[in-house]
Amino acid sequence: MGQTDIEMPVLLAPMAGITDLPFRRMVARFGAGLVVSEMVASGEMITRKPSVRAKARVELGLDLPSSVQLAGRDPQPMAEAARMVADMGARIIDINMGCPAKKVTGGASGSALMRDPDHALRLIEATVGAVDLPVTLKMRLGWDDDMRNAPEIARRAEAAGIKMIVVHGRTRMQFYKGQADWHAIAATREAVSIPVIANGDIVDAASARLAQSHSGSAGVMVGRGAQGAPWLLAQISAELFGTRAPKEPVGSELCDFISEHYGSILSFYGRDLGLRLARKHLGWYAERAQAPLRAEMMVAETPEHVLALIERAFGERIAA
């Protein structure tokens, strides 16, 4: 990928409100080919407000093996935002053409761009031309079953200078319903010579192996499967590509790990907001580990109480 090589072809998908900097740091600790930032709206990025840009600089976590994902509908703001994050130290810029959320597609961004390939290509060309960095693209199979145009867009994107493409195996109109069609990703892989990464419903090494086999992809991108398991990407990479297997935390190490993640969330967001935002992560850890006291952790009102519950929930299960 030009200036940036991805040695471990297992990537963390961007997920709004989930793959924040504290979570990306936990994933990167075990190993990941790339951790992609939460989506950054190009229009907001280019605002003149110093506070917005300062906040972005902190949240991007550019010391990690990280890609900054930009979303937008107009070429000029996308190009300007790309230059900004490049100046901040970004290593890779990713263009969002896959988000299905109505608030994004309603503004003609995300997967809505797949309805107008000519306009999408103008946006891609502007972004690629604005920076001397690898630019990648994340998209879906198409807008709906009548417009499965990922291969066409991929060919044109490669010609415009895109270095890697991630394809989620659903159309926009499917949102996250049904099963991701990994076989359908193969048409995009056959249309280009750059790496194509398979995404959608990859939750463990077995599903990752099937996704890669059915699509012929160069690697996989993991999203919801990593919730409550920051070590999953490294485990998949070890199974599929023979990289070093991570040491999954168990026993007291798991308690310490979850407590550390919790503390990093509070430090990043502040006590009150962090207390609320951490709950979903604690819930996923508890669900995956089949630990008790999940309900209590969801309503605890002080960090001290939460930390005590973490110790009890995971410690008691281990002792048993």
Active-site residue set:
99
Residue/partner pairs of 259-267 with CB below 8 Å, 24 or more apart: 259/307, 259/310, 259/311, 261/22, 261/23, 261/26, 261/230, 262/303, 262/306, 262/307, 262/310, 264/22, 264/25, 264/26, 265/20, 265/22, 266/303
Look up residue 296 and give its two tokens: 């209590």
Q: Tell me the three state secondary structure of residue 17.
A: coil
Residues 6+ apart with CB under 8 A from 240: 10, 205, 208, 209, 212, 220
Query: Cα angle vertex 229, ends 88, 284, to 5°?
Result: 105
Q: Tell me the three state secondary structure of residue 220.
A: strand
Q: Tell me the three state secondary structure of residue 306.
A: helix
DSSP 16: T
Question: CA-to-CA distance for 198 and 242, rounded, in angstroms?
Answer: 19
The separation between CA 247 and the C-alpha centre of its own chain, rounded to angstroms, equals: 22
> Looking at this protein, which amino acid is placed at residue 180?
A
Look up residue 279 and give its two tokens: 């709950």
Residue/partner pairs of 213-216 with CB below 8 Å, 24 or more apart: 214/182, 214/183, 214/185, 214/186, 215/167, 215/169, 215/182, 215/183, 215/185, 215/186, 215/189, 216/185, 216/186, 216/189, 216/190
DSSP 60: H
